[in-house]
Amino acid sequence: MTLCAAVAFVFFYQTTTPDSRYGAGDAGRFDAGGMPQAGARLQFTATAYCKGDTTASGVGVRTGVAAADPQLLPVGSVVRIETPNPRYSGVWTVMDTGPAVQGRTVDLYLWSCIEALEFGRRPVRLTVLRLGWNPQNSIPGIIDALFRKREEERKPPARLPKPPAPASAPSDAAPRQE
């Protein structure tokens, strides 16, 4: 009996249980061997860097620029990063790569090297808004919402109905006969 209990304990101890909140939504959006699709919500590890003048894409470094593995998030990708600290949460554009940025790691550019060191390495939730430069690889909901809002703002105001024609007062003159 003790042996059966020990075997059962070892068997269940080795079992991995997926988190149902995120597992069901991401299952069809990410293949372990390929790139995620727009809209995918993924767990990443974030680090921060502060050195350098020019990114791999040729633009200068600035706040809002991130480096990522080009096999996973190609240059030009736009991602939303959620961290417990709202200072680092927001929309970042992947404009850089690096030999140390491999797999599910994203490296965020921060102007202050002291702040980058304090940032350290932390888990983040990353949502792919656009994959690479192609706008067709964007989340349709965001683009549609922006265009709908713009079109609603452009609509002319509703026209007022025409006022009824004024009633003509009866005249004292006799009607003309022809």
Q: In terms of pLDDT, which residue wins out, 141 or 30?
A: 141
Give the pLDDT score at 43: 95
Query: Among 10-14, 16-20, 44-48, 105-109, whose mean pLDDT is lowest?
Result: 16-20
In the structure, what pLDDT confidence band is assigned to residue 36 with cuts at 50, 70 and 90?
confident
Per-position DSSP letters for 138-175, written without gaps between them: B-HHHHHHHHHHHHHHHSPPPPPPPPPPPPPPPPSSPP
CA atoms of 32 and 149, how far apart (whole Å)? 36
Percent of the chain whose pLDDT exceeds 90: 37
Give the pLDDT score at 165: 76
Domain range 34-154, CATH class: mainly beta
Give the pLDDT score at 150: 72
CA atoms of 36 and 41, how far apart (whole Å)? 9
CB 33 within 8 A of CB 115: no
User: Looking at the chain, which runs of residues are DSSP E strands?
Assistant: 41-49, 65-68, 78-82, 90-96, 105-109, 122-130
Interval 164-178 mean pLDDT: 63
Query: Among 4-8, 87-91, 95-99, 171-175, whose mean pLDDT is lowest?
Result: 171-175
Interval 84-103 mean pLDDT: 90
And the tokens for 13? 């101890």
Give the pLDDT score at 151: 74
| pLDDT for residue 122 is more than 70 | yes
Report which residue type is found at 44. Answer: F
| pLDDT for residue 31 is more than 60 | no
Q: Give me the residue spans of the domains in the chain.
A: 34-154
pLDDT tens for residues 66-90?
A: 999 999 999 999 999 999 889 999 9
For residue 156, which phi and psi values (nearest 5 degrees)? -70, 155
